[in-house]
Amino acid sequence: MPDQPQPSLPSGSSVAERLAAVRARIAAAADAAGRDPGEVRLLVATKTQPAEAVLEALAAGVDLIGENRVQELVAKAPAVADRVADGSLEVHMIGHLQRNKINQVLATATGLETLDSLDLARAISDRCVRDDRTGDRALDVMVQVNVTGEASKSGVVPADAGALATAVAALPGLRLTGFMTIGARLDDTSEQTVRAGFARLRAVRDEVVASGAPGTAGATALSMGMTGDLHLAVAEGATVVRVGTAVFGPRPTQPAR
């Protein structure tokens, strides 16, 4: 197997074929970094994809999907409800969440990767506590960090991430599992800059886990890397890569992120 990431397969390929290619890319990147490929989980980003395409991915062994928009999350929830109920599928919200949509997310998602304020965290935790979702049933959350500092991107700045994570970890309705970032775009900058952003997220994670603060010991996940840069993210320690285009082909329109 070549060391270089392989290009995406042509658009005539099936979702299953494309998934196999993505898994091979992840494995090659892990090998190159001296990591166990089993440490890197694939989250399939399903935004703009119809439920049929999502079901194709599930049939090919996908056990973690991510949605950006609450509306789409809710629309596709019935198609995946059985798999969520039997525990064989996790559904993460990976887009920005507005407070007025908290209930809809709690009804359909198993995790939220885009927590970026203590106000939002408290509101979600309160709701979980009212629903008796604490302890093992608490919502899995990641703190989203804006490692590039671009104003257009969501997330807390790295300097504030540790304090937010520690506060979130102490809330009864939430279980802090780690950190997420949308890195710099390879189109706009060098591989070095993209990697530096991912390394920054890892440093935030390491500091929080080392702090010994209550609820932080399990906050080891690093959700970073997408179709274009997953090899760089895996090299910097990603434990979750979020991939859409390489699985489904190009989206008709690129939603704002």
Ligand X SMILES: *Cc1c(COP(=O)(O)O)cnc(C)c1O
Binding site for ligand X (CB under 6 A): 45, 47, 68, 94, 182, 226-228, 242-246, 257
Asked whether the CA dihedral 202, 204, 205, 207 is positive or negative, the reply is positive
Q: CA of 151: how far to CAs of 82, 86, 95, 168, in Å?
A: 39, 40, 16, 23
Cβ 135 to ligand X, closest distance in Å?
Answer: 28
Bridge-partner residues for 144, per DSSP?
180
One-letter amino acid at 133 equals: R
Q: Which residue of this chain has its Cβ atom nearest to ligand X in the complex?
A: 244
- Comparing CB distances to ligand X, the nearer of 92 and 205 is 92
Q: How far is the CB of 129 from ligand X (least distance, A)?
A: 28
CA distance 244 to 76: 16
Shortest Å, Cβ 230 to ligand X:
8
Task: Tell me 142's DSSP state.
Answer: E
CA 28 to chain centre: 20
Q: Which is nearer to ligand X, 168 or 224 (CB)?
A: 224
Least gap, CB of 86 to ligand X (angstroms)? 26
The tally of CA atoms less than 13 A away on the side-chain side of residue 23 is 11
Residue 127 CB, shortest distance to ligand X, in Å, is 23
Burial of 114 (0-12, 13-18, 19+ CB in 10 A): buried
Which residue number, 28 or 171, has a Cβ lying nearer to ligand X? 28
Kindly state the smallest distance separating residue 180's Cβ from ligand X, in Å: 8
Alpha helices in the chain (DSSP H): 15-32, 51-59, 70-85, 102-108, 118-130, 158-169, 191-211, 230-235, 245-248
Distance from C-alpha of 145 to C-alpha of 191, rounded to nearest angstrom: 19
Structure tokens that stand for 69 in this block: 């928009």
Query: CB of residue 207 vs ligand X: minimum separation in angstroms?
Result: 23
Q: What residue type is 80 in one-letter code?
A: V
74 and 95 in contact (C-beta within 8 Å)? Answer: no
Smaller CB separation from ligand X, 34 or 253: 253
Complex with ligand X: residue 137 or 257, whichever CB lies closer? 257
